[in-house]
Amino acid sequence: MSQIFDKTTKALGSAINFRQLRQNLVSSNIANAETPGYKAKRLRFEEALTRAIDLSGKTSMLTSDPNHIANGPGRISNVRTNIFDDPDINLTNDGNTVDMEKEMAILKENSLIYKAAVQLINKKLGALKYTVTEGGR
């Protein structure tokens, strides 16, 4: 039995989930902009998602430990990311590292990419719906 959702659909789903996580993280940074001693948080998932998608098949590796980052076909749902303190910090007098301009730019970029991914997945689902309802006529 073939799967209904292809690699692209699964990758878009994972990207949407990570974009939502990034949106929450950046929103938390903005909410804590006035909190003394708060360290801005970041996450990176693009590299892990690229390895998991592995469109060319050239980056496939064997993993010998369950904590290794999964890659290759069928591993998209296993992609994980780490949340870490922002290494590009500008420490203020109260020890806070949140740069509001930077956070707002990240928030806007993330929002645009999230919306694009949602539109793409909606188009793919629309094509599936068309195939199921109108394709056989």
Of the ranges 5-9, 44-48, 65-69, 129-133, the best mean pLDDT one: 129-133
Closest to 80 measured CA to CA, from 6, 127, 17, 7: 17
Question: pLDDT tens digit string along 97-119?
Answer: 999 999 999 999 999 999 999 99
**CA–CA separation, 65 and 76 (whole Å):** 17
